[in-house]
Chain A
Amino acid sequence: MSKTVLAVDDSKTMRDMVSFALTEAGFAVTTADDGAHGLKVAQEGTFDVIITDINMPNMDGITLIGHLRGLSQYQSTPILILTTESEQGKRDQGKNAGATGWIVKPFNPEKLIQVVNKVAA
């Protein structure tokens, strides 16, 4: 069974790139286009890893992480946030909300895969 990843980002470019890179690396990727959508998709399925952007309409990534950590099935699921270099503050907020780690944009596919492997058992 391949690992399942949920990638939440309001940018189609990012969704495409994340899902392309991870699919190549053997993951089964599902995407959602904002926090609220991501939460809904997460509740309807089970995922081994969740990757989320921070700045999104309807529900931001920090709030999403808070909600996910409140769900029993995602208490110990690795959750990664996608941030830019200049968002150190956001990274800390994400950590405090329960994020496992972060991926810095712009990322290259190898780095992305490396980080996901780092947190996914």
Chain B
Amino acid sequence: MDMQSFRKTYFEECQERLQEIETLLLSLESGDYQDEHLHAIFRAVHSIKGGAGAFGCDHIVSFAHIFETVLDSVRDHRLALDPELMEVLVTSSDVLAAIVAAAEQDQILAETFDAKAKADLSQYMDGAEHAPLPAAHASSSDAKKGTSRTYTIVFKPHSRLYEKANEPLLLLRELGGLGEMILSVNVDALPDLSAMDAVGGYLSWTITLTTTHHKDAITEVFEFVLDDCDLTITETDRTVAGEMKPTPPSDASPAIETGESKVSSIRVDLDKIDRLVNMVGELVITHAMLSQQAEKLARDGYPHLARGIEELSTHTRELQDHVMAIRAQPVRMAFARIPRLVRDVSKDVNKHIKLVMTGEETEVDKTVIENLADPLTHLIRNAIDHGIEDAETRKAAGKPAEGTISVSAGHRSGRILIEIRDDGAGLNTKKIAEKAKERGLIENPDLMSADELHQLIFNPGFSTAEQISNISGRGVGMDVVKRNIQSIGGKVYVKSEAGVGARFVLSLPLTLAVMDGMIVRVGSQKLILPISNILESLRPRRQDIATITEGGEVLDLRDHYIPLLRLNRLFNIPARYDEPWQGLVLIVESEQTTFALFVDELVGKQQVVIKSLEENYDPVEGISSATILGDGSVALILDPASLYDLHTKQGDSLAFAA
């Protein structure tokens, strides 16, 4: 531990505090007025200031000081929290965040950087409250050498001094540290033992102290007790001494090695946890291997072995859960920015929006949280800009003028579901159908259900906003959301009801270290496909397969043609079956498209531990990573998007050869 690591802690803490300030300010602004919110904001700013002093971040101290002064007046109800002041506070929290960020990077901001915010805040300070800034703390022991003075000190503690746990003996000891001391105690006031109050102030002392220190140093010794004693300090003699030694400091405690006991939590490097996650992954694999091998042995008369392995399995799974839980964090981290976003966007488009958030405590892997920010932002912007109607339209439809957006998170069957719901107009099914037809995505909209049509908005370049606003609707939209969510093994879909609202559901894995995989077989090879990409599996009829001139093979999936990829040809593996109607076809959804993948058979669903191929080997096209199966064999995990790219390339080269 050194200053540098405290500094790191400090700035980490600042981030948490700043986030807290923003969240609380927004709840205040949205009408959720609670005194406690103001107290908490004050504490947060105060705490940022408190730490800043220790690291010499003067800019933070000076700004936080003014900010805090105004907040103090608001929380004491000396200032009314009107919308203008609210705006000033929100802006000030941004300015404070910027100053903190600059300080963390050791950047020097221009003096004028916070001038406006300071001026805005200053309007709310009456002169008296403009307390001077703390001056740099002066060292207490600046001994003035040369002049030696003698003081007579009369010290009579009151009983209140004892009640506050001050100890005259310690004060006298400290006083003795300043120089030569002659001490006499006056016991005249001491009553009979029977009449004595254990904490009564009966004793007084007269001290003659010869010291090179100034009178202030003596007063400082008594600084805690000045109100609780009679104290007179009189200078009685002064001599100029040539060789007065500076007095030794008061006795320092011997350094005894002690363990510091932490009650709350510790911070651990993410790397260390990742290593742990990896090791547990290995353990899971080893266990699977062991149990497969032991199955035969156990039958042949080792009953204890079977039980032992059973127990090992339970413990391993528990260990895995716990280790994963270390990496888990509440989704609050990803939700924290939403209130600000809703506030800003709704101001821009001039709509009144109420935000309801639930399930912020739901825990999910840190990496998943980090990848949630963009999709969430996108979906919420969209909901405000396109989902919620303007006030007049809402009133005409018999809805409250204020729109509601609710964001919720929760666990469901080993995954986390995040829902973004608005009470707007819902998706315009007719327009989606028209657009999809126009873009050639579908042929006959009448054959599709409204729900099926709605999912088309996740296609690349699909945007039905009539007017492109600067909030959303720039053409890149839902497809980006979908790609982001898929990249972390998740799925997204929309449910919409005309006039009632739309609901976007993100279904995400709890962790990225393990994955639900479908093991498929081609010839002697076992390969794994992420379950989240598989829509369905089927055995096609011979007449469902066709070849089109410029697109290679296609599968007729309920009157809809999708490209057919043969896994055996892509990787040059001799397969058991030559034709799709003998084997099985998986309908796979990738980032760009949906395609059919021909394999021999499905082996089964399994949770697999993901091993990076880049780290352990080299990147391979069509493959995202690898895993080790229960029998110890390595199986490759397919990456649908790059599989499709590979297919396109091979098609091109074939066409070229032909």
For the complex, give the distance between the alpha carbons of A51 and B53 in Å. 19
Is B32's CB within 8 Å of the partner chain A?
no
The stretch of B130-138, B307-315, B330-338 that contacts the partner chain: B130-138
For the complex, give the distance between the alpha carbons of A2 and B314 in Å. 44
For the complex, give the distance between the alpha carbons of A32 and B164 in Å. 22
Nearest-neighbour CB distance to chain A for B450, whole angstroms, equals 49
A84-B51 in contact given A98-B163, A98-B164 (Cβ < 8 Å): no
* Chain B residues with CB below 8 A from A107, complex form: 54, 137
A31-B262 in contact given A17-B54, A77-B165 (Cβ < 8 Å): yes
Whether A33 contacts B264 by the Cβ 8 Å rule is yes
Is B31's CB within 8 Å of the partner chain A?
no
Whether A17 contacts B165 by the Cβ 8 Å rule is no
* Chain A residues with CB below 8 A from B227, complex form: 95
Is B6's CB within 8 Å of the partner chain A?
yes
Q: What are the 6 closest A-B residue pairs judged by CB atoms, nearest first? A: A106-B53, A85-B134, A101-B224, A13-B10, A106-B54, A28-B258
Whether B43 contacts A25 by the Cβ 8 Å rule is no
Whether A105 contacts B54 by the Cβ 8 Å rule is yes
Nearest-neighbour CB distance to chain B for A79, whole angstroms, equals 6
- Chain A interface, >50% SS class: mixed
Interface size on A, residues (CB 8 A): 55
For the complex, give the distance between the alpha carbons of A2 and B260 in Å. 12
23 CB < 8 A contacts A-B: A2-B258, A10-B47, A11-B50, A13-B51, A14-B50, A17-B6, A20-B1, A25-B253, A25-B255, A29-B258, A41-B263, A76-B162, A79-B165, A84-B50, A84-B53, A85-B134, A86-B134, A98-B164, A100-B166, A101-B166, A107-B54, A113-B252, A118-B171
Contact with A along B260-303 (1 / 0, CB 8 A): 11111000000000000000000000000000000000000000
Whether A13 contacts B9 by the Cβ 8 Å rule is yes
* Chain A residues with CB below 8 A from B258, complex form: 2, 23, 26-29
Nearest-neighbour CB distance to chain B for A107, whole angstroms, equals 8
Is A62's CB within 8 Å of the partner chain B?
no
Contact with B along A40-70 (1 / 0, CB 8 A): 0100000000000001110000000000010
Is B366's CB within 8 Å of the partner chain A?
no
Contact with A along B218-254 (1 / 0, CB 8 A): 0000011001000000000000000000000011111
Nearest-neighbour CB distance to chain A for B178, whole angstroms, equals 13
Whether B170 contacts A118 by the Cβ 8 Å rule is yes
A11: nearest chain-B partner, CB-CB: B47
For the complex, give the distance between the alpha carbons of A100 and B170 in Å. 12
Whether B10 contacts A56 by the Cβ 8 Å rule is no
Is B658's CB within 8 Å of the partner chain A?
no
